[in-house]
Amino acid sequence: MAKLSEQEIEAALKRLSGWKLENGTLVKEFKFSDFAESVRFLTRVQPVADSLDHHPDVCIYYNRVVVHLTTHDEGGITQLDVKLAEKLDDLAKLH
């Protein structure tokens, strides 16, 4: 999948909520009530990421999950990152 241009990334960021561009990755911090809820969120993410064959880089800080999205194979942001960002937003609402 082709890398998005800067204009395409800016357009995608306008549609997404809470995501920003940082060092060539899409980044968002998701907030939960505690560590267990953070882990449950990532448990819901796992099958979705596997089915897309596209995986987020994640860090858990107790009740915060920081997600970085980039397409490693392309060395930049692709439409797959935008699609995964939308899915993560949906999954974060489910807790």
Ligand X SMILES: C[C@H](O)[C@H](O)[C@H]1CNC2=NC(N)=NC(=O)C2=N1
Binding site for ligand X (CB under 6 A): 53-55, 71-73
**Residue 46 backbone dihedrals phi, psi, to 5 degrees:** -55, -50
Who contacts 78 (Cβ-Cβ below 8 Å, separation ≥6)?
1, 2, 3, 4, 71
Question: At its nearest, how many Å lie between ligand X and the CB of residue 71?
Answer: 5
Minimum CB–partner distance for residue 44 and ligand X (Å): 17
Q: Minimal distance in Å, beta carbon 34 to ligand X?
A: 27
Which CB, 72 or 93, lies closer to ligand X? Answer: 72
- Cβ-based burial of 2 (10 A; exposed 0-12, middle 13-18, buried ≥19): exposed
Q: Which is nearer to ligand X, 40 or 55 (CB)?
A: 55
